[in-house]
RNA sequence: CUACAAACCCGAGCUAUCGUUUUUCCCGUUAAACGGAAGAAAGGAAAGUCCGGACAGCGAAGAGCAACCCACCGGUUAAUAGCCGGCAUUUCUGCCGCAGGGCAGGAAGAGAGAUAGUGCCACAGAAAAUAACUACUUCCCGGUGCGAGCCGGGCGGAAAAGGUGAAAAUGUGAGGUAAAAGCUCACAGUGUUCCGUGGUAACACGGGAUACGGGUAAACCUUGGGUGCUGUAAUGCCACGUAUAGGAUCGUUAGAGGGCUGCUCGCCCCAUUUGCGCUGCAAAGUGUUCACGAUCCAGGGUAGGCAGCAAGAUCACGCUAGUAAUGGCGCGGCCAGAUAAAUGAUAGUUUAGAAACAGAAUCCGGCUUAUGAGGUUUGUGGCAAU
RNA sequence: GCCAACUUAGCUCAGCUGGUAGAGCAUUUCAUUCGUAAUGAAAGGGUCGUCGGUUCGAGUCCGAUAGUUGGCU
């Protein structure tokens, strides 16, 4: 079994086709300032949960700011994903998740961690 | 000492924990994945995309026109509109001179041609370019007066006076004349050209001849020189998948069309029928069947992998040529390579609080712009001392 | 990755080859009305995104720069 706090290539949501499908057909909910897209995956998926993060270039003009937000989102997801993974593995499903940052101001780490925990528990309950 | 401005340098290091991308090695394995060890992991601008190249494709990259770009000289470079060093020119300050002007220092410096042509120059002014409004004046006519003359008109002369303007026909003095005028002369200024000297050259200085009727080419334009176009999502290969279906227009023995530029020429490519049956020795005849190609529209499929793609006009140091940009030699190093796209998070610590601008995407050389703290140099101002 | 266009009054836009910047709506004042709206008359409001250059003189020409919008792949 891999380490609990990893976030490797196989766990990332990578396929362009899947992303398009997710934005078109996936279900959503919002925990401001983060909007969450999710949908079930086929059995052939490489990992039980495939996750991605993103920021709109409209709200953040500079690439440095976008990179910063995506890094913070990844870090928060990495450190708090464990309960979600165990829940998913127990139910036997596979899902794809995308976290989109919709705020207009740069967040800090502690604030985002709280929001991520909230979003993950909400995701668990809505899947159950 | 201090404040401001400009240029250049620098653009955090260390420790711990948890992670990401990648290279090499080892263990296990058919192989992959996973695990372990060691190494590497954003910038001075990675940015803007303003120039120049490398590389690739387009036919072997052809010709002319058009279009666009460049424009003092020399050097530098793979190359440039960059950089370095000069020159003309403009401007500021100081000094000298009655003045025209000269000398010294600083700054700017997109600077071919305005005697090839065309256009434009508002307002003001007579006139803005083959100048006559006022005033001046020879001559003629008329009036008046004894007369000198005065007044009015006309054909002319004349760029000296006026005042406008950003700009008014080179300036000052003398001669000259009816009045005047580079009309003539002296000095000065500017342009063209010839000779000599210096310099690689632009050009400078001296002398001779000649001309002097403005400005604008970042107005059209002329002259000289240059540029083929498109771009790494280029391009080559592998795998998977589908639709040889449908619609519009056109062409089919002389050309629709294509060949990554707007046009023309030249050259090249390319469709222009195919299959089957029967008669016939064959040539051919006949029947039947599928039309074919180009452009566009609409639609279907895929959106995975490998190469390109990380050792180079490379970096550090030393010596050396050159005023410098830059080059040569020696020695050592290997320094990101992702593909929804890594290079991070938290805590402590170092100097004073880690803070500014900001994130590679084919790669280089410049330019431009943004930028914290500190340091160095230069300039300007203030204060203090000698 | 590459390419193009735009920026003028509070708003929407004109301003062609350089010569003192205009229209419509909006704002203010006056008239009209018992009063408001509509209508009529008048007024104010601009360093033409910013910086530099060419020119006697730039909204206009040239260069740089900031912002906005669009297109191709």
Using one digit for the tens of pLDDT, what is the confidence trace for A81-105? 888 888 887 777 778 888 888 877 7
pLDDT at residue A20, rounded to an integer: 74
Model confidence band, residue A1 (pLDDT cutoffs 50, 70, 90): very low
ipTM: 0.79
Q: What is the pLDDT of residues A26-63, one digit of tens each?
A: 788 888 778 888 888 766 666 778 888 888 777 787 88
CA atom of A115 to C1′ atom of C32, Å: 66
In terms of CATH architecture, what is A29-127?
A: 2-Layer Sandwich (3.30)
Contact predicate A6/A78, CB 8 Å? yes
- Residue A109: CB less than 7 A from any atom in strand B: yes
**Domain residue extents for chain A:** 29-127
Is A8 (CB) below 7 Å from strand B? yes
Kind and range of the H or E run holding A9? none
Helical axes A109-127 vs A63-80, angle rounded to 10°: 50
A66 is near strand B: CB distance < 7 Å? no
Protein CA A34 to sugar C1' B148 (Å): 116
């Amino acid at each position: 079994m891999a380490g609990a706090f990893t976030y490797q290539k196989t766990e990332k949501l990578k396929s362009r086709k899947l992303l398009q499908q997710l934005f078109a057909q996936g279900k959503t909910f919002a925990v401001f300032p983060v909007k969450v897209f999710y949908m079930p995956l086929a059995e052939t998926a490489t990992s039980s949960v495939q996750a991605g993060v993103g920021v709109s270039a409209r709200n953040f003009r500079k690439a440095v700011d976008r990179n910063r937000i995506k890094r913070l989102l990844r870090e928060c997801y990495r450190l708090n994903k464990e309960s979600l993974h165990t829940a998913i593995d127990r139910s036997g499903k596979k899902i794809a998740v995308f976290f989109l940052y919709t705020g207009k101001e740069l967040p800090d780490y502690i604030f985002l961690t709280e929001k991520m925990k909230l979003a993950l528990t909400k995701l668990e309950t809505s899947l159950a």
